[in-house]
């Protein structure tokens, strides 16, 4: 742990794909492989889901995949404080793209009760995560300002907390719940999914060492980008 409470990044690998489709195909394969490994190792696959639009293409591919779904457990990196079932929630979008299309034991989907309001939902979700140990795979997106999950620039990292209530968020809706940087970093693997020209500035800032929330995610981190998002970073090797 760094002095500011940010986790240490053990490995940070960048990989560029020609387009969103190629990235989504690779990410889906990576997730399925990580699941097979985890289930073989400890009988379960604990996956943290990213919100926003970018991962939806990956989730849609997983909707037609074959896997040992009863051994999967789905957690959410963050949620928007909207009524249960609201189309604007991350869990609603993910159910629509993926989980509604596969045979999932309902108890294996660990939604954030964001309908309760940020404070109460954060408390409840922290209690759910207590004693859980590390995740197998954490999926994250990247915002134009360098935010990830609902960890926004200029906000304290709050060392020691697993789940945070977020108020006055710069991205609507303003009330949100998010796992902390430290909790998101407690994972065998972290995978960022980044596509589109609107993410170029955040990618450049990240690589330049700017103090953006995405950089506070530690551990074994892999960043998958499409050529659009990486266009201003020709030094990123490993283009595919």
Nearest to 171 by CA among 141, 200, 195, 196: 141
Minimum distance, C-beta of residue 51 to ligand 6PG, in the bound complex (Å): 3
Contacts of range 69-72, beta carbons closer than 8 Å, 24 or more positions apart: 69/102, 69/103, 69/104, 69/105, 69/108, 70/103, 70/105, 70/108, 71/35, 71/39, 71/43, 71/44, 71/45, 72/35, 72/44, 72/45, 72/47, 72/104, 72/108
Size of the site for ligand 6PG (CB under 6 A): 16
Q: In what order do the strands lie in the sheet with 72-76?
A: 9-17, 219-226, 187-194, 135-140, 45-49, 72-76, 109-110
Q: Which of 31, 50, 181, 187 binds ligand 6PG (CB under 6 A)?
A: 50
Q: Does 183 bind ligand 6PG (CB under 6 A)?
A: no
Q: Does 92 bind ligand 6PG (CB under 6 A)?
A: no
Q: Does 213 bind ligand 6PG (CB under 6 A)?
A: no
Q: Does 143 bind ligand 6PG (CB under 6 A)?
A: yes
Q: Which of 16, 35, 149, 229 binds ligand 6PG (CB under 6 A)?
A: 149
The residue (of 148 and 189) whose beta carbon lies closer to ligand 6PG is 148
Q: Which of 5, 52, 153, 173 binds ligand 6PG (CB under 6 A)?
A: 52
- Closest residue to bound ligand 6PG by CB: 141
Distances (CA, A) of 114 to 56, 147, 216: 20, 19, 24
User: What is the C-alpha separation between 25 and 18, in angstroms, rounded?
Assistant: 12
Q: Does 78 bind ligand 6PG (CB under 6 A)?
A: yes
Minimum distance, C-beta of residue 101 to ligand 6PG, in the bound complex (Å): 21
Minimum distance, C-beta of residue 71 to ligand 6PG, in the bound complex (Å): 25
Give the binding site for ligand 6PG (CB under 6 A). Answer: 50-54, 78, 80, 90, 141-143, 147-150, 171
């Amino acid at each position: 742990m760094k002095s500011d409470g940010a986790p240490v990044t053990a490995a940070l690998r960048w990989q560029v794909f020609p387009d969103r489709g190629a990235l989504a195909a690779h990410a889906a394969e990576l997730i399925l492989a990580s699941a097979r490994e985890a289930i073989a190792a400890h009988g379960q696959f604990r996956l943290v889901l990213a919100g926003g639009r970018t991962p939806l293409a990956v989730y849609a591919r997983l909707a037609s995949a074959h896997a040992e779904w009863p051994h999967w457990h789905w957690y959410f990196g963050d949620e928007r404080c909207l009524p249960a079932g609201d189309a604007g929630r991350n869990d609603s979008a993910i159910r629509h793209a993926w989980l509604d299309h596969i045979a999932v034991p309902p108890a294996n989907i660990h939604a954030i009760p964001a309908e309760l309001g940020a404070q109460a939902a954060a408390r409840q979700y922290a209690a759910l995560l207590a004693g859980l140990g590390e995740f197998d795979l954490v999926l994250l997106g990247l915002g134009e300002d360098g935010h990830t999950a609902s960890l926004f620039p200029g906000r304290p990292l709050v060392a020691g907390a697993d789940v945070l209530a977020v108020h006055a968020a710069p991205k609507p809706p303003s009330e949100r719940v998010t796992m902390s940087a430290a909790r998101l970093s407690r994972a065998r693997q972290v995978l960022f999914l980044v596509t589109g020209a609107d993410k170029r500035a955040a990618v450049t800032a990240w690589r330049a060492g700017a103090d953006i929330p995405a950089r506070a995610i530690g551990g074994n981190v892999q960043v998958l980008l499409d050529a659009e998002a990486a266009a201003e970073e020709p030094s990123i090797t490993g283009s595919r």
